[in-house]
Amino acid sequence: MSEYPVFSVTVDLVMLTVRSDRLHVLLVRRGVAPYLDGWALPGGFVRPDEDLDGAAARELREETGLTAPLGHLEQLASYGAPDRDPRGRVVTVAYLALLPDQPVPVAGGDAASAAWLALPAPELAFDHGRILADGVERARAKLEYTPLATAFCPAEFTVTELREVYQTVWDAHLDPRNFHRKVTTTPGFVEPVGRSVTADRGRPAQLFRRGSAQLLHPPMLRPA
């Protein structure tokens, strides 16, 4: 064991949300070298007694204050090129979080400041640009065959809100009528709450919450 190199292991988070019809990512301004004052994904070292998933959940909590009954957190991929961190051999396990718009970033730790930035994001520190791109692509793909678009919504939401999530993430227009039919007839996608909300004007919209399905059968297909 001692003949092999010593690594540090970090978790980095690609936290995405939909705000004002734009996809946003939570970024921090680095307060320490390297890349001092540069934008980076939030993250940090895995602690001695932590699982990887636990470290990611902790970072998510620290950045948002969310104790995470809402939203979605999953492992994305690991990155470990020998030169990816000038300080030494660091492998990072990236996680992808999909969150409703509510959370306000909380500065702390190495982060001089944190902010939700609309995509496309500025140049990022380390290989975080690549990690972010991988996360966005994963999110786009997963909206097709899972109900995870609901992770971008509050606990109760309207069909229109859900459609706006799809349109934003995919950067595409979806027919409101076909979308309504698809969402309400795919088993386990959403279930009606029974109440309605009215926007400023117009007919009140029914509220739904996420259903029990883990996978969409058949999937929601991206427009060609």
Partner DNA sequence: GTAATAGTGTCTATGAGACACTATTGG
Partner DNA sequence: CCAATAGTGTCTCATAGACACTATTAC
Binding site for DNA (CB under 7 A): 158-160, 175-178, 180-182, 184, 196, 198-206, 218-221, 223-224
Nearest distance from C-beta of residue 190 to its own copies, angstroms? 21
Binder of residue 184, out of its own copies, DNA, none (CB less than 5 to 8 A by kind): DNA
**Relative orientation angle of helices 159-170 and 128-145, to the nearest 10 degrees:** 140
| Cα-based torsion angle of the residue sequence 85, 88, 89, 90 in order, rounded to the nearest 10 degrees | -50
**124, 82 contact by CB (below 8 A):** no
- 218 contributes a contact to its own copies by CB under 8 A: yes
**23, 101 contact by CB (below 8 A):** no
- 196 contributes a contact to its own copies by CB under 8 A: no
d(CA 45, CA 10): 4
d(CA 188, CA 28): 37
d(CA 95, CA 43): 10
3-state class of 115 per DSSP?
strand
For the residues of 25-90, what is the DSSP string, one character each? EEEEEESSSSSTT-EE--EEEPPTT--HHHHHHHHHHHHH----SSSEEEEEEEE--TTSSTTS-E
Give the residue with the Cβ less far from its own copies, 155 or 221.
221
Nearest distance from C-beta of residue 197 to DNA, angstroms? 9
Give the residue with the Cβ less far from DNA, 139 or 220.
220
- 9 contributes a contact to its own copies by CB under 8 A: yes
- 86 contributes a contact to its own copies by CB under 8 A: no
Give the residue with the Cβ less far from DNA, 2 or 185.
185
Binder of residue 194, out of its own copies, DNA, none (CB less than 5 to 8 A by kind): none
For the segment 40-59, give every residue that binds its own copies (CB under 8 A). Answer: 45-52
Nearest distance from C-beta of residue 72 to DNA, angstroms? 22
- 68 contributes a contact to its own copies by CB under 8 A: no
Positions touching its own copies (CB under 8 A) are 1, 4-9, 45-52, 75, 77-82, 87-89, 91, 93, 145, 217-219, 221, 224
